[in-house]
Amino acid sequence: MRPETVFLGLALSLAVLAAGCASTQRTMPSFQGDLSAAATNGTDLLANSTRSTLPSANGGEAVNYTKERVELIASDGTKLVGSYYDSGGDKGLVLLHQLDLDRSTWDAFAQQAQRDGYAAVAIDFRGHGESQGSWRSFSDKDFQDMLLDAEAAATYLQQRGKRVTAVLGASIGANTAFRYSSIHHVPAVLLSPGLVYHGIDINDTTSNSSTLIVVAQGDTYAYTSSQELEQNNLFGQHDLLVLPGTAHGTYLLGQRNVTATILDFLEKNAK
């Protein structure tokens, strides 16, 4: 190998290393999954948490970032696992994922929400992730009982001294979030809702709470469902954000300032 080739390779390596160090100082920490230690019946263990510091969104004091693995039990006895993201305020969010995914799909959003002062609980629905059961063998009733999972998450927030100020859901989680909103009268953010997902039928569900619907125009079923739901006046005060493309559920969070739009909606409606 020629000397100039070795010198060029070394220079490039040093440049990449320097760039990596600089970017680490500017960006938020990334959390890849949960630590292995378990919390018992919702009791948090220090060894089971990840703690860091985020820059403030408005340039003020830094935000202490805490993500904890927690175990919950739904009212029917189903064992659930969730992630709790703390904040200094008393506002809390319930985050519900879509079919065949898990709570980690909300990680990046939860970090952004913490910068705006929101605590959050993202759960693995029953039959998903670390929670009890397998959704592949579920009946419609089992899917409908995911509402109990959302309520368990809300109860956990309240036990931590937070108010449930909004519920956010993706796909089948959006339908569950809308059912929760209808019963408990809190604002909802619905990513790619459908008229019916695995027996969770929201054709006749109504809510007087503020609702934000986000859907991609090329996501045919969710798009036509969102239009029909809007035309049937099932929502109270609401906004419908239609995006190009075919992204579905939490995959919409990476599109065209969707996260910023959701946080703006929460600032106006999640009091």
193 with 225: CB under 8 angstroms?
Answer: yes
Give the Cα separation of 181 and 220 in Å (integer). 24
pLDDT at 14: 32
Mean pLDDT of the chain: 81
Residue 136 has pLDDT above 60, yes or no: yes
Cβ neighbors of 117 (< 8 A, separation 6 or more) are 87, 88, 89, 91
pLDDT in tens, 189-246: 999 999 999 999 998 888 889 999 999 999 999 999 999 888 776 666 789 999 999 9
Token couple for 181: 């909103």
pLDDT at 21: 32
Give the Cα separation of 230 and 221 in Å (integer). 14
pLDDT at 90: 95
pLDDT in tens, 87-96: 988 999 999 9
231-234 long-range Cβ contacts below 8 angstroms, 24+ apart: 232/203, 234/202, 234/204, 234/205, 234/206, 234/207
Topology of the domain comprising 37-269:
Rossmann fold (3.40.50)
Q: Of the candidates 175, 199, 167, 172, which has an alpha carbon nearest to the alpha carbon of residue 265?
A: 167
pLDDT at 205: 86
pLDDT band at 64 (very low <50, low <70, confident <90, very high): low
Give the Cα separation of 256 and 196 in Å (integer). 27
Residue 38 has pLDDT above 50, yes or no: no
Q: Of the candidates 97, 106, 84, 166, which has an alpha carbon nearest to the alpha carbon of residue 125?
A: 97
pLDDT at 62: 54
Least confident range of 60-64, 99-103, 227-231: 60-64
The rounded percent of the chain whose pLDDT value lies above 70 is 75
37 with 45: CB under 8 angstroms?
Answer: yes
pLDDT in tens, 70-88: 999 999 999 999 999 999 8
pLDDT at 117: 95
Give the Cα separation of 144 and 179 in Å (integer). 10
Least confident range of 42-56, 100-114, 123-137, 198-212: 42-56
